[in-house]
Structure formats: C-alpha cells, structure tokens
Amino acid sequence: MDIGFIGLGSMGQAMAENILKAGHRVRVWNRSRERAQPLAALGAELVDTPAAAFAGDAVFSMLADDAAACEVFDARLLENAPRDLVHVNMATVSVACAEKLAREHAARAIHYVAAPVMGRPDVAAAAKLTIIAAGPAEAIDRVQPIFDAIGQRTWRLGALPQHANVAKLAANFMLASAVETLGEASALLSGYGVAMSDFLDVITNSAFPGPVYSGYGRLIAQDTYEPAMFKARLGLKDVRLALAAADACAIPLPVASVVRDSLLDAVAHGDGEKDFAVLGRVAARRAGR
C-alpha cells in the first residue's frame, strides 16, 4: 500500500518503521525533519509538508494532542486531500476532538478512523500494540493490513470514531489509577521496612499479574524514572481528557481527580518529563519519606 505517516515521536517512528518492514511504501512528515532521517535510511520518502503525506491509499497520524491535530488537519489540508482517502488517527485525543475531526472529514468525503493504541514505545517497536479502532467498517478493512504490521490485535468498537477514543481514555485512566495505588502501597510498605521488590514478587505472581503492575511496580521499587517510556505530563493530559469526557455526560470520576492532582504534584516538582511511574515518588514525598 501507499501510506502517508504524520508525526514521528517515539511511538510514531516505531510504527512507521514496522510499516516499512512489511513492504509498504511510506511517505513521512514530521515538524522536526531530523526525526525522519532514520526512516529515510530504511526506504521512507521524506516530504516537506503534511499535505504531501496526506495522499495515497491511506494516511496514518500520531500527533501529540488535540492542539497539534487541529493545527495540522485544518480545512485547507482536508479540502485539497484526495476524496475517498482513509485517515487513521492513532493519537490519544479528546472525545470532542474526535467528533470534530469525524464531521470535518465526512463533509469532504474522506474516511476517518480513530485507532488509538495501547503499549509503550518498546511494544510499538516489537509490533505488539493493541489497536482500538472505530469508524466506517469498509475503511478499517482497507487499512487492516497496516494494523497487522504494527499490532498484535485490532479491536473494533463500531462506526463512531469517538468510541475508540473514549475507550482509550478509560484504559489510560485505569492505568493511571493502578500506578497511583502502586505508589501509595510502596509508601505504606516503606513505613514498616518492607521492600517493595519483595511485595511485587508476591502480588505479580498471584492477584495482580501482567505488565502494568510488574513493569511500573519495578520502576517504583527501583526509584528509576528515566529514560521515560511514557512521560508523566502525557499521563496528566490523558487523565484530564478522561475527566473532560466524564464531565460532558455528568459521570463522576472521583479517583481520576485524585490521580490528576498527584500528576500535577509531579509536574510542579519538575518531574513532568519523567516516567509515569514517578507517581511512586509523589506518594513517598507526601508520606515524608
């Protein structure tokens, strides 16, 4: 397939590389051109504008947030895009942003698919992402070979793109809540001289197996938050988006409010660029430890 790819952060770069490895033609654009250079060595075509990437059979995007998406996918870009193109937005954006983009694409006969992913950059590099997709079924069918090149499974949540985004926000809220409780548990253990590493061995081999508790728990136990695989400031963004989505339909999320405040604490203390697991340091600081 002829694929455009917009946004080459750690996640986007890994995904674009796997699309190339699967034998597809890929045109890439990123604000910082140097981020695209390693992909050029693998056969990607570097283009100078988003419009040059917004063509072919489909375009995939992985931009940082709502503001970046609105700036890049403006009316001019969409007006000049090929009709019947499929745009797959893989970023974690707000429900409101997803609804707006879906309307604007449909008005110009461009298929819009929301397909946020679950997994950190190492998972993306291994092509093991979990993909949550929603949008026109025919459009998802057309890009399924690309999903197969970057992920281990695609979960389809219907025809409304925003359903994929609210599912991703719910998942990230659950992740944030788990990391918060890991941090608080670590603080409790430290008060009694129990090693967090010993505790982790118990819980991850019994009631709480899986990568969330074992991975983030290990970082908290080791007090190791750099290099960041998922930055605390991005976690704060996602929890805020979950709270905004909840507010829009009068759904209380009291735990999310607590986690937001903990992440704000991390950012206020200069830890926004550190890994999400830095919530362990926040809990320790609150406990005077």
Same domain, 142 and 206: no
Asked if residues 25 and 46 have their Cβ atoms less than 8 Å apart, the reply is no
- Give the domain-ending residue among 115, 135, 159: 159
Catalytic residues: 168
181 shares its domain with 134:
no
What's the CATH number where 89 sits? 3.40.50.720
Range of the domain at 202: 165-286
Q: Are residues 58 and 88 in the same domain?
A: yes
Same domain, 105 and 200: no
Last residue of one domain, picked from the residues 159, 192, 214: 159
CATH number of the domain residue 255 falls in: 1.10.1040.10
Is the preceding omega at residue 211 within 30 degrees of 0, hence cis?
no
Looking at every residue in the chain, the average pLDDT score rounds to 96
Of 130, 159, 188, the domain-final residue: 159
Query: Mind listing the pLDDT tens digit for each residue in 190-226?
Result: 999 999 999 999 999 999 999 999 999 999 999 999 9
CA distance 172 to 118: 9
Task: Show pLDDT as tens, one digit a residue, over the chain (289 residues).
Answer: 999 999 999 999 999 999 999 999 999 999 888 888 999 999 999 999 999 999 999 999 999 899 999 899 999 999 999 999 999 999 999 999 999 999 999 999 999 999 999 999 999 999 999 999 999 999 999 999 999 999 999 999 999 999 999 999 999 999 999 999 999 999 999 999 999 999 999 999 999 999 999 999 999 999 999 999 999 999 999 999 999 999 999 999 999 999 999 999 999 999 999 999 999 999 999 999 8
Q: Do residues 11 and 80 share a domain?
A: yes
| 57 & 78 share domain | yes
170 in the same domain as 154:
no
String of DSSP letters for 184-231:
HHHHHHHTTT--HHHHHHHHTTTTS-SHIIIIIHHHHHHT---S-SSB
Residues 34 and 89 in one domain: yes
Phi then psi for 228, rounded to 5 degrees?
Answer: -80, 125
The total number of structural domains that make up the chain: 2
Q: Are residues 12 and 125 in the same domain?
A: yes
Same domain, 82 and 197: no
Contacts 24+ apart (CB under 8 A), 246-249: 248/95, 248/96
